[in-house]
Amino acid sequence: MKAKPTASLKTAAVPDVPPEVRPGQSIELLKALHILTREGKLNQDSRRKLKQVYHLCQFIEGPLKSVLDSKKAPGARLTLADHGAGKSYLGFILYDLYFKAVLDSAASPVQGHIYGIETRAELVASSRALAQRLGFYGMSFLNLSVADSAASAELPEQIDIVTALHACDTATDDAIDFALQKKAQALVLVPCCQAEVAACLRQTKALTLSRTPLAELWRHPLHTREFGSQITNVLRCLYLEARGYQVTVTELVGWEHSLKNELILARYTGQPKHSAATRLQALLTQFGLESLIGVRFKLS
């Protein structure tokens, strides 16, 4: 008998997945986020972006597992709020890698939900459409500012993990206040463009120059901006420690990728540090920033 030609047994070619993509990651999601091209490839810019998001996910994975281990009762929920979500790269990838696979399975007694909080309505709308298309039903996107989100009825009373990446100026402080109100177990913050403290330093410059030689640190405008950014994050870390968090400060990515590179990780211990509150008060007084007491830093 004559053998049948094998040409009729053609199968569709399966494109190679770039090695940078984690196993189990949704290729459709990465294409929708424009991290992968239509052909499933990475360009130089998207490769850098994916590397940064994955790197950040590694920092969040530990708190996720820790909170998950503490939730044993059926019906318990693991919640994460992402402030200044933008296009929600982080939220979507976290949901795809962790929430969808682990938390939303029928075998898990715990359910998970991610809230993306963003002020640009068009980005909120596009994120909602993408979540619906991918079946990521444990995601919500809210058209709110960070400052307004704590009082919103669209969010639960308690949020386990709070992230804020490149939330400009006081939006990072609003995210910290949100986390304190929501009794968050962990915070992951990448501050950006701090201006409030620098403005306060400029207002009190004449007085502080005569009072202490330390004012030379911000006598020149460029130094005022840079020193204001540095002291802002120092004050934030002390504030979190004073409110019962263990704080670690590290780099997010190499300085060659971004100058906004500081990553603040905070884990709730329930043990407020009196020494941190004392030093916070002393620094605010030393640098003429008393106007922030009770407004930005609630010490009592």
Write the pLDDT tens digit of every residue in 192-239: 888 899 889 888 877 777 778 888 888 899 998 999 999 999 999 999
**pLDDT score for 193:** 82
Residue 270 in this model has a pLDDT that exceeds 70: yes
In terms of pLDDT, which residue wins out, 167 or 233? 233
In terms of pLDDT, which residue wins out, 260 or 52? 52
In terms of pLDDT, which residue wins out, 286 or 128? 128
**pLDDT score for 107:** 63
**pLDDT score for 12:** 43
Residue 174 in this model has a pLDDT that exceeds 80: yes
8-17, 75-84, 259-268, 288-297: least confident range:
8-17
Average confidence (pLDDT) over 280-300? 89
Instruction: Label residue 70 by pLDDT band (50, 70, 90).
Output: confident
Q: Calculate the alpha carbon distances from 293 to 71, 78, 298, 300 in Å.
A: 36, 33, 6, 10
Percent of the chain topping pLDDT 70: 89
Average confidence (pLDDT) over 85-110? 82
Q: pTM value?
A: 0.88
Average confidence (pLDDT) over 51-56? 87
The string of pLDDT tens digits covering residues 26-44 is 999 999 999 998 888 888 8
The string of pLDDT tens digits covering residues 102-155 is 665 666 667 889 999 999 999 999 999 999 999 999 999 999 999 999 999 999
Class of CATH domain 21-193? alpha beta
**pLDDT score for 256:** 42
Residue 14 in this model has a pLDDT that exceeds 50: no
